[in-house]
């Protein structure tokens, strides 16, 4: 297994069914001790000193009874590195064997013995559980067998592998996979989320079993010190509490962090890193708008990009151009997903300043004197943007309420690259709107808005990073 490395302290805990017993734990020539005085305190916990040596180590936990008898458990081949928790619904659950080039990933898995994998069994509970109710993949060294298992998440594996490769010390990486297909965010959220987001259910309604996945598949892990979380979820909320997602997602992150800090006695950062994958694509006509664009927008807390000031230390991967018509809402292009998310993780979490981690971010939308709308992007990584094709931009010259409620009032507009301002896209205003005010501009506002890797705007510093979708009311 992998325990969290320094500067953080890791926690080891266990159980005893006896009272008045001592627990002695040894690892890396250090001895730790605690005591259980009564049977009501059956969970013991020991905080280890920060460990910078990656190991491997053997950990021995010994229970000494009042009559001096002993019972020991040994855990071998323990490494200290960074532990990442991977959660969400079916796109996180998708195994390596189901993705494009998955066979290559599986065949090469043995090259990374310092990456260790663990998968939580799909379970549910009406109350928070101290212990996992099931495990489908015990801690395993990366190998053909473990990475090729149906229980190993492709996004989790690729993210972890790419982080491991890019870090100078090639430190051990522990990947804890806990996901459930078709699960809404409500199932992953502690009860406080529903109160804060004004989602209390009346007594006379049929009550949904909210929190039942959180109780069984997240809460038992909150004693463990982790580096951070990556999350891929949202499809189940496209037609369910869609307009609450901005609140539920933000609050879920907040209360996960709070619970982890509380359960680890503040040993974990109250703002530990949280990365997510912005919803990819679904249907193949390219005409349906639906709820996908709004979930993508709400995933960024209605700002359009991350990191932002709405919730600290949150990063994302934009995947709106990774359509896979055969895969539907489960694109098999997970290598690109893992790559894009790992770039964000390396930049935001590991502070690698030379890593390009996001596509161009829209900064200013204004109308000029030539009946054009100018969309100017931030030039964080490059002095120019790539305009790959002319699809995806739309304007609305009705009032804001009509723009929101009536899709027929949105008009496609042609973008033109401006060589004199290489970070600006000029949108030609149709004749029907030239005598009116422009009230809104949006980009890639479809469930499946473009062909594979053929969005309009990309980074010139990394051609695999598209600009994220946005909507701007003026």
In a domain, 53, yes or no: yes
Gap between the Cα atoms of 137 and 118, Å rounded: 5
Provide mean pLDDT across the span 66-73: 90
258-305 per-position pLDDT tens digit: 999 999 999 999 999 999 999 999 999 999 999 999 999 999 999 999
Based on the fold, state whether residues 288 and 404 are members of the same structural domain: no
Asked if 119 and 212 touch (Cβ cutoff 8 Å), the reply is no
Based on the fold, state whether residues 88 and 22 are members of the same structural domain: no
In a domain, 357, yes or no: no
303: left (phi over 0), alpha (psi -120 to 50) or beta: alpha
DSSP 203: T
In a domain, 353, yes or no: no
Domain boundary among 26, 52, 78: 78
Based on the fold, state whether residues 138 and 225 are members of the same structural domain: yes
Based on the fold, state whether residues 272 and 323 are members of the same structural domain: yes
79-124 per-position pLDDT tens digit: 999 999 999 999 999 999 999 999 999 999 999 999 999 999 999 9
In a domain, 355, yes or no: no
Q: How far is CA 431 from CA 365, 413, 443, in A?
A: 19, 11, 20
Based on the fold, state whether residues 67 and 93 are members of the same structural domain: no
Amino acid 328: pLDDT? 95
**Cβ-based neighbour number of residue 417 at 10 Å:** 16
Structural domain harbouring 14: 2-78
Domain boundary among 78, 113, 133: 78
Based on the fold, state whether residues 64 and 35 are members of the same structural domain: yes
Based on the fold, state whether residues 39 and 89 are members of the same structural domain: no
CATH code for the domain of 158 = 3.40.50.1110
For residue 221, name the pLDDT band (cuts at 50, 70, 90).
very high
Based on the fold, state whether residues 72 and 87 are members of the same structural domain: no
Amino acid 392: pLDDT? 95
Based on the fold, state whether residues 261 and 299 are members of the same structural domain: yes
Q: Which residues contact 197 (CB under 8 A, 6 or more apart)?
A: 244, 247, 248, 251
Q: Which alpha helices (DSSP H) does 300-333 contain, by range?
A: none
For residue 225, name the pLDDT band (cuts at 50, 70, 90).
very high
| Whole-prediction pTM | 0.95
Based on the fold, state whether residues 34 and 91 are members of the same structural domain: no
Based on the fold, state whether residues 373 and 232 are members of the same structural domain: no
Based on the fold, state whether residues 109 and 188 are members of the same structural domain: yes
């Amino acid at each position: 297994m992998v325990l969290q490395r320094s500067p953080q302290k890791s926690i080891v805990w266990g159980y005893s069914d006896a009272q008045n017993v001592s627990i002695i734990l040894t690892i890396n020539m250090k001895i730790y001790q605690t005591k259980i005085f009564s049977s009501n305190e059956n969970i013991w916990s020991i905080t280890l000193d920060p460990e910078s040596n990656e190991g491997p180590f053997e950990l021995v936990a010994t229970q000494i009874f009042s009559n001096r008898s002993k019972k020991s458990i040994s855990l071998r081949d323990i490494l200290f590195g960074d532990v990442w928790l991977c959660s969400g619904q079916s796109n996180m659950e998708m195994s390596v064997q189901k993705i494009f080039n998955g066979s290559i990933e599986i065949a090469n898995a043995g090259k990374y013995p310092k990456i260790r994998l663990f998968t939580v069994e799909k379970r549910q509970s009406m109350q928070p559980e101290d212990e996992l109710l099931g495990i489908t993949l015990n801690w395993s060294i990366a190998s053909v067998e473990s990475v090729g298992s149906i229980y190993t998440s492709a996004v989790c594996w690729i993210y972890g592998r790419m982080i491991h490769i890019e870090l100078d010390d090639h430190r051990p990486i522990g990947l804890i996979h806990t996901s459930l297909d078709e699960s809404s965010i409500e199932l992953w959220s502690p009860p406080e989320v529903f109160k804060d987001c004004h989602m209390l259910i009346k007594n006379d309604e049929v009550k949904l079993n909210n929190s039942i996945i959180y109780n069984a598949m997240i809460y038992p892990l909150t004693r463990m010190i982790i580096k951070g979380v990556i999350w891929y979820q949202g499809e189940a909320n496209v037609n369910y509490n869609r307009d609450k997602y901005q609140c539920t997602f933000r609050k879920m992150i907040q209360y996960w962090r709070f619970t982890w800090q509380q359960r680890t006695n503040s040993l974990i950062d109250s703002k530990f890193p949280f990365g997510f994958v912005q919803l990819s694509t679904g249907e193949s006509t390219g005409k349906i708008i639906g709820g996908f664009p709004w979930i993508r927008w709400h995933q960024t807390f209605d700002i359009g990009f991350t990191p932002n000031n709405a919730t600290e230390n949150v990063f994302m991967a934009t995947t709106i151009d990774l359509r896979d018509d055969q895969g539907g809402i489960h694109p098999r292009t997970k290598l690109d997903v893992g790559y894009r998310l790992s770039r964000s993780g390396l930049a935001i979490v590991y502070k690698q300043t030379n890593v390009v981690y996001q596509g161009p971010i829209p900064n200013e939308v204004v109308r000029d004197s030539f009946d054009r709308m100018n969309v100017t992007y931030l030039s964080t990584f490059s002095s120019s943007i790539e305009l790959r094709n002319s699809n995806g931009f739309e304007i609305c010259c009705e009032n804001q309420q009509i723009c929101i409620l009536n899709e027929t009032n949105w008009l496609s507009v042609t973008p033109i690259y401006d060589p004199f301002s290489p970070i600006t896209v000029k949108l030609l205003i149709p004749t029907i709107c030239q005598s009116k005010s422009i009230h809104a501009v949006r980009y890639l506002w479809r469930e499946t808005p473009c062909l594979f890797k053929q969005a309009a705007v990309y980074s010139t510093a990394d051609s695999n990073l598209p600009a994220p979708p946005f909507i701007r009311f003026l």
